[in-house]
Amino acid sequence: MSRVDHRDRHLERIAEVRAGGGEGRGAEKVGYPIRVRAAEVVRTAMVGAGLLRVTLGGPGTEGFEAHSPDEHVKLLFPEEDGTLRLPEPNGNMLRWPRPSPTSREYTVRRYDPATGELDLDVALHDGGLGSDWARSVEPGAVVHVAGPPGGLIVPHDYDRYLLAGDLTALPAIARWLEELPRTAAGWAFVEVANADEEIALSAPEDVEVRWLHRGDAPAGTTTLLADAVRAIRVPGGERLYAWVAGEAGSIKPLRRWVRDELGLAKADHDITGYWKRGVADFDDDHDH
């Protein structure tokens, strides 16, 4: 089958899942053809006090696939000896070298097909490989980007949506709120240190946005997010989709809550640890 045929097929499936059709179908993971791209840094800019936006462009980003609010790419970094080990194309997939190359994973915040610009919002923290790179990288630098490997496509016909996360989840939540239908209803909870880390969000009118300030407590050490989320009340008979991401330990109580208290089916929620305190390169399988 040609690449064009494959592309048409996954785009058609994305449209079908997103439409929902009122048949009570849940979310579905849809794969896209995976590429490795050499992209150029166009510019960097702070977004609030906690996120540094790295905008990539150049010929390498042409034809990038972006279809899901929480889809992600891997930035590939040179090893300590300076060598860069890249995965190789393998049909519509990639063949990764062993051991795996040094990489960090980021949500696709925005892709503009007209300009080819790709925005990645990096949550800044001291001593992080990705943070240090984002702070120091200059326009014109080349970075290799792998993915996205696909995305979780969520129907737009749920009665309500629950979005929750910390600073690392904020880029995905911001994109979620932009891409939901303007008629969508629900809640968005975002835990940040303080008001300086808040950013402008384009939420539908009936989605309540709640910023949660943890103050001086280190990220991932409080129950602030889980406590706030568990206080919501879902009207009887309504279909809810829940999306939660952040520090793995902090969101763990919400895994049980969506299953045992809300009774959500696997296709009606996605709860993902984006990072874990004390672990430099944490990788969590999506729970959906």
253/238 Cα distance (integer angstroms): 23
8/13 Cα distance (integer angstroms): 9
Cis before 139 (ω within 30):
no
pLDDT digits (tens, 9 = 90+) for 128-148: 899 999 999 999 999 999 999
DSSP H or E segment with residue 74 = strand 72-76
Count of positions (residues) in the chain: 288
pLDDT band at 8 (very low <50, low <70, confident <90, very high): confident
pLDDT band at 1 (very low <50, low <70, confident <90, very high): very low
Buried b (16+ CB within 10 A) or exposed e, 163-202: bbbbbbbbbbbbbbbeebeeebbbbbbbbbbeeebbbebe
Residue 277: per-residue pLDDT: 87
Q: Is there a contact between 219 and 141 (Cβ–Cβ < 8 Å)?
A: no
285/274 Cα distance (integer angstroms): 9
pLDDT band at 186 (very low <50, low <70, confident <90, very high): very high
Cβ neighbors of 42 (< 8 A, separation 6 or more) are 55, 56, 57, 58, 117, 139
Say which amino acid occupies 124. Answer: L
The SS3 of residue 100 is: coil
Residue 286: per-residue pLDDT: 42
Say which amino acid occupies 246. Answer: G
Cβ neighbors of 200 (< 8 A, separation 6 or more) are none
| Whole-number Cα distances in Å, 56 to 34, 136, 142, 149 | 18, 15, 9, 18
